Amino acid sequence: MNKSPIILGIETSCDETAVSIIQDNESGIPKILSNIVSSQFDIHKEFGGVVPELAARSHVEKINLIAKKALDESGITLDKVSAIAATSGPGLIICLSVGLNFAKSLSSSLKVPFIGVNHLEGHALSPKLHTNISYPYLLLLISGGHSQFLSVNGLGSYTRLGTTIDDALGEAFDKTAKLLGIEFPGGPKLEKFAEKGDPNKFKLPKPIINKGGCNLSFAGLKTAILRLTKTIKTDQEKYDLAASFQKTIEEILYIKSKTAFDEFSKTNSIKDKTFVVAGGVAANKGIRKKLIEVSDENNFLSIFPDIKLCGDNAAMIALVGLEKYKIKKFDNIDLSASPRLALDKNAKFLKGSGLIY
């Protein structure tokens, strides 16, 4: 086995076509040789959300080019690649299949191992691309499709402590943004709107804030925003509503993180406790600030991925590929796409407030 393995990672689970090449390093932090992400915002914005058929077609059209770009930028040739890793789920099945099939063909022709990667594990491990973190650690994963607190016990070993019982946080940001007339995906722009508004102007609900442990709920917020958008008239009122939304989310995450700290501490008696916040929404500066505050107050070391590694990318997929490569955890070429892949396979399905009492 190569002493400093090189992994080519592929990500096509939703609306980003991404290829990255990373190399193992003695420091424990792999070197990112290239990390190309091609977003499809322009294709989907007129529909207000991702259209699976169009997304898959775009992946097919671009994957060769993006892979070539990643290779050129890395300065290495394909014969130096030790293994090919690709997202196998969760995500849109026709999108996942594009990356998986490309990865399988490449691994067969190069005669190197093929490794299927859980996209959520990519987010979970993403700060390891620049920081040494030891297991176990507490993770808050906040993305467009998921919002969960998990104990990350080791590679492939997760215990879910809490999850959203309705919308994911990224989804709540995108839906609120849409109601404020911001085009898809509105999360990042909503944050900009919020900077110009008064966070105390509107009082918004904090669903299940005092019950349900560290489970989360955001659907009630969206309903309140929908009602309020019917009454507001000026741009300033829009900024105020965005700021009030942003502040409410920060407060919800502050309180729920505290509960998650307690739950994590019950089963993990380690001295140095780490709190990793990952996924697209972890790019939000206000949320970062508030979660650093709650971590400091509760003796958790907070770690966030670099901003450019919060959103979907293939470096995080290559990283999981590298960790699996080191323990020779390879997959067969018949591995199929799993649209509903979870991190904690034993966690029960939890949707609807009736389930958390």
Please state the φ and ψ torsions of residue 244, each to the nearest 5 degrees. -65, -40
Instruction: Determine the interface stretch with Zn ion among 108-116, 194-202, 256-264, 311-319 (rule: CB under 5 A).
Output: 311-319
Count of residues engaged in binding ligand KG4, rule: CB under 6 A: 17
Give dist(CA 290, CA 77) in Å, integer: 44
Q: Is 173 in the site for ligand KG4 (CB under 6 A)?
A: yes
Give dist(CA 305, CA 122) in Å, integer: 11
Q: Is 311 in the site for ligand KG4 (CB under 6 A)?
A: yes
Give dist(CA 300, CA 278) in Å, integer: 15
Out of 312, 313, 320, 323, the only residue in the binding site for Zn ion (CB under 5 A) is 312
Interface with Zn ion in residues 111-170 (CB under 5 A): 143
Give dist(CA 129, CA 125) in Å, integer: 8
Identify the DSSP state of 32: E
Choose between 143 and 257: whose C-beta lies nearer to Zn ion: 143
End-to-end alpha carbon distance in the chain: 51
Q: Is 136 in the site for ligand KG4 (CB under 6 A)?
A: no
Q: Interface mask (CB under 6 A) for ligand KG4, residues 41-80, using x and -?
A: ----------------------------------------
Give dist(CA 244, CA 310) in Å, integer: 24
Out of 121, 167, 263, 312, the only residue in the binding site for ligand KG4 (CB under 6 A) is 312
Q: Is 191 in the site for ligand KG4 (CB under 6 A)?
A: yes
Choose between 312 and 323: whose C-beta lies nearer to ligand KG4: 312
- Which stretch of DSSP H or E encloses residue 296? helix 285-297
From the list ligand KG4, Zn ion, none, partner contacted by residue 250 (C-beta under 5 to 8 A by kind): none
Q: Is 121 in the site for ligand KG4 (CB under 6 A)?
A: no
Give dist(CA 18, CA 36) in Å, integer: 6
For the chain, the maximum distance between any two Cα atoms, rounded to a whole number of angstroms, is 65
Going through the chain in order, the beta strands assigned E by DSSP cover: 6-11, 16-23, 31-39, 83-89, 114-118, 137-142, 147-154, 157-163, 273-278, 300-303
From the list ligand KG4, Zn ion, none, partner contacted by residue 145 (C-beta under 5 to 8 A by kind): ligand KG4
Give dist(CA 158, CA 160) in Å, integer: 6
Out of 9, 127, 145, 207, the only residue in the binding site for ligand KG4 (CB under 6 A) is 145
Q: Is 280 in the site for ligand KG4 (CB under 6 A)?
A: yes
C-beta separation of 240 from 190 below 8 A: no
Instruction: Determine the interface stretch with ligand KG4 among 43-51, 62-70, 137-145, 203-211 (rule: CB under 6 A).
Output: 137-145
Give min distance, CB of 46 to ligand KG4, in A: 17
Choose between 121 and 237: whose C-beta lies nearer to Zn ion: 121
Cis peptide upstream of residue 205 (ω within 30 degrees of 0): no
Instruction: Determine the interface stretch with ligand KG4 among 109-117, 181-189, 218-226, 232-240 (rule: CB under 6 A).
Output: 181-189
Please state the φ and ψ torsions of residue 277, each to the nearest 5 degrees. -115, 120
User: 166-192 burial string, b = 16+ CB within 10 Å, else e?
Assistant: bbbbbbbbbbbbbbbebebbbbebbbe
Give min distance, CB of 313 to Zn ion, in A: 9
Give min distance, CB of 123 to Zn ion, in A: 6
Instruction: Determine the interface stretch with ligand KG4 among 60-68, 130-138, 275-283, 330-338 (rule: CB under 6 A).
Output: 275-283
Out of 9, 127, 187, 305, the only residue in the binding site for ligand KG4 (CB under 6 A) is 187
Give min distance, CB of 90 to Zn ion, in A: 9
Binding site for Zn ion (CB under 5 A): 143, 312
